């Protein structure tokens, strides 16, 4: 029996114990901001300064010296490093905690807070600081066109071909810290459940819990390291 090919999907819940808010919990981001004001292309066209301010504040959190990956991020990086078969980590998160934990086979399907994209030349660049209308594009030099490299509602997620291929071939799909409220990520379990084992690790039942072979509920920093220990004991 060969070790399973694994696809792992993460959402904001995996970063909650690092101190970053989720979106739909009672203290979540969408309890304090309206999506249509700050997370759509129309919002950016209507009031770019408001949208840049929303993402500049979230990006500033990434520069907080107290912010670091938690045991769940670190466990996934260890699983990847020691896994003897195909492995892909697909995150909906735009924070850089998986990157900082050492994950390499990683796709940010909703983009990355620490990057910017130029509306003039489409170049994507590293942008750790605030973005403003005056920020010049490092590639074409023009200002007035630097937007967060984050996928807004109504826009296509990134690297969907790579994700689709990994889902097509996986034997085990694990969903961690996501409410299952946003597609296409919320639909991944439906794509694979007829031929792969499926496991949900989440603080509480999500909208799609019933679609998983198994659902374990609790904090990611407990569930994920335990899951990784289990997998490495069996296959590592």
Query: Among the options 33, 110, 120, 217, which is catalytic?
Result: 110
The alpha-carbon radius of gyration of the chain (Å, integer) is: 18
Q: On the CB side of 41, how many CA atoms lie within 13 Å of its CA?
A: 5
Residue choice 149, 206, 211, 225 for contact with ligand APR (CB under 6 A): 206
Query: Would you say 178 is a known binding-site residue?
Result: yes
Q: Is 67 in the site for ligand APR (CB under 6 A)?
A: no
Q: Phi and psi for 135 in degrees, rounded to 5?
A: -65, 120
Residue 229 CB-half CA count within 13 A: 8
User: What are residue 88's DSSP bridge partners?
Assistant: 7
Interaction between residue 92 and ligand APR (CB under 6 A): yes
Q: Of 138 and 230, which has the nearer Cβ to ligand APR? A: 230
Residue 110 appears among annotated catalytic residues: yes
Q: Which of 75, 211, 220, 231 touches ligand APR by CB under 6 A? A: 220
Query: Which residue's CB is nearer to ligand APR, number 184 or number 236?
Result: 184
Residue 15 in the binding site for ligand APR (CB under 6 A): no
d(CA 90, CA 163): 7
Binding ligand APR (rule: CB under 6 A), the pick from 24, 100, 105, 193 is 24
94 annotated as belonging to a binding site for a ligand: yes
219 contributes a contact to ligand APR by CB under 6 A = yes
CB nearer to ligand APR: pick between 135 and 179: 179
How does 190-220 read in b/e, with b if 16+ C-beta sit within 10 Å? ebbeeebbbbbbbbeebebbebbeebeeebb
The secondary structure of 138-178 as a DSSP string is TTT---S-EEEEEPPTTSPPS-HHHHHHHHHH-SEEEEES-
- Tell me which of 178, 200, 211, 228 binds ligand APR, using CB under 6 A: 178
- Tell me which residues touch ligand APR (CB under 6 A): 11-13, 16-17, 22-25, 28, 92, 110, 177-179, 181-182, 202-204, 206, 219-220
């Amino acid at each position: 029996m060969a070790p399973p090919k694994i696809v792992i999907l993460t959402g904001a819940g995996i970063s909650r114990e690092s101190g970053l808010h989720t979106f739909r919990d009672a203290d979540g981001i969408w309890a304090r901001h309206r999506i249509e004001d700050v997370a759509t292309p129309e919002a950016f066209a209507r009031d770019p300064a408001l949208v840049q301010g929303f993402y500049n504040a979230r990006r500033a959190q990434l520069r907080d010296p107290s912010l670091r990956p938690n045991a769940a991020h670190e466990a996934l990086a260890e699983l990847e490093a020691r896994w003897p078969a195909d492995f892909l980590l697909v995150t909906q998160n735009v924070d850089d905690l998986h990157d900082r934990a050492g994950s390499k086979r990683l796709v940010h399907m909703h983009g990355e807070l620490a990057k910017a994209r130029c509306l003039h030349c489409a170049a994507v660049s590293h942008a750790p600081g605030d973005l403003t209308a005056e920020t010049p594009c490092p590639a074409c030099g023009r200002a007035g066109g630097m937007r967060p490299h984050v996928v807004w509602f109504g826009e296509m997620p990134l690297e969907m071909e790579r994700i689709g291929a990994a889902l097509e071939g996986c034997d085990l799909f694990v969903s961690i810290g996501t409410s299952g409220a946003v597609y296409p990520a919320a639909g991944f379990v439906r794509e694979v459940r007829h031929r792969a084992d499926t496991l949900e690790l989440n603080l509480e039942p999500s909208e799609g819990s019933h679609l998983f072979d198994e659902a374990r509920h609790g904090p990611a920093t407990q569930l994920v390291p335990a899951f990784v220990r289990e997998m490495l004991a069996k296959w590592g």
